[in-house]
Amino acid sequence: MKDYMFLFRGGLDFTKASPEQLQQAMANWKNWVEELKKEGVYNSGERLVRNDAAVVKGSARQVLDGPYTESKEIVGGYISIKAENLKQAIEISKDCPIFNYDGNVEIREVAKM
């Protein structure tokens, strides 16, 4: 069994979303996570706050405001899951609700000792 990281980008524009849409998105997301937990493949996950971010850079530890990317390129959250291989990890990602909102999932294997 390997661990894979799902990095989520894009999706629903939270600043413009209506309460109804937020609730719907939350319910979809929760259902998906619960499903993964039930199957025993879910390790952990968090959503990331979009504002109040910084990038610290170089030997001088230069501090920059937020990631200077388009909002749809910002990582909005991540989860870690268990899978046999990349193919299975891709399969697991397919029901992710982010696809209903025009977002994407980057799938990366966690390097282990």
Partner 1 sequence: MVASKSVYELTDHLFRHEAGKMVSVLSRLLGLQNLETAQDIVQDTLLQAMSTWSYNTIPENPSAWLYRVAKNKAIDFLRRQKRFKELAPQYSYLLQSEYILTSTVNNLFLEDEIQDSQLRMMFACCHPAITEESQVALTLKTLCGLNASEIARAFLTNEETINKRIYRNKDKIKQQKIELTVPQGKELPERLDGVLKSLYLLFNEGYNSSQPDHLIREDLCQEAMRLAYILTTHVGTNLSITNALLSLMCFQASRLQARLDDKGNIILLKYQDRSKWYQPLIKKGITYLQIATMDSEVSAYHLEAAIASLHAVASSFEKTDWKSIYDLYETLYRLRPEPIVALNKAIASAYAMNKQNALDQLLHIKGLENYYLYHTSIGEIYFELQNKQMAKKFYETALGLTTSKQEQQLLKNKISNCEAVQ
Q: Which residues bind partner 1 (CB under 8 A)?
A: 14-23, 25-27, 29-35, 38-39, 45-47, 49, 77, 79, 91-92, 94-95
Output the smallest distance, CB 79 to partner 1, in A.
8
Amino acid at 67: P
Q: Which is nearer to partner 1, 13 or 57 (CB)?
A: 13
Output the smallest distance, CB 57 to partner 1, in A.
27
Output the smallest distance, CB 56 to partner 1, in A.
24
Q: How far apart are CA 22 and CA 32, in angstroms?
A: 15
CB 4 within 8 A of CB 96: no
Relative to beta strand 54-57, strand 42-47 is unpaired
Q: Which is nearer to partner 1, 34 or 106 (CB)?
A: 34
User: 56: which strand partners?
Assistant: 63
Length of the chain: 113
